[in-house]
Amino acid sequence: MIKLDSGNVLLKPSQRRQLMAWLRRSLKLGERLGNFVLSITMWRSGRHFELRAAVKDGAGDFGCRVRRNDWQTALRDLVRSVCRQLHGQCLQAAVA
């Protein structure tokens, strides 16, 4: 499950669809691990966007934080780091 708290950032419906498209891989990886919950919080302060992700799944919990000037770049970096962490957890679960 994915929870999005956009905070004070206004997203258009097309931007939300783009976000969900970027998160497809992490959703599939999380479903393999079981009990997957991804919470994303977006916040804008001045010209910067801060995004935080809290992931809870069957293999453990972790968090990621990104701060960039552009929301798309910040979100892309956040999705990459979440996917990297989930992939590592999947590999550890397969070995164990």
Q: Any idea what the CATH number is for the domain that residue 53 is in? A: 3.30.160.100
Q: Which domain holds residue 21?
A: 2-95
Using pLDDT thresholds of 50, 70 and 90, give the confidence band for residue 46. Answer: very high
pTM of the model: 0.90
- How many domains, in total, are found in the chain? 1
Asked whether 3 and 41 are in contact (CB, 8 A), the reply is no
% of the chain residues with pLDDT over 70: 100
Nearest Cα residue to 36 out of 46, 25, 50: 25
For residue range 4-32, what is the model confidence (pLDDT) as tens digits?
998 899 899 999 999 999 999 999 999 99
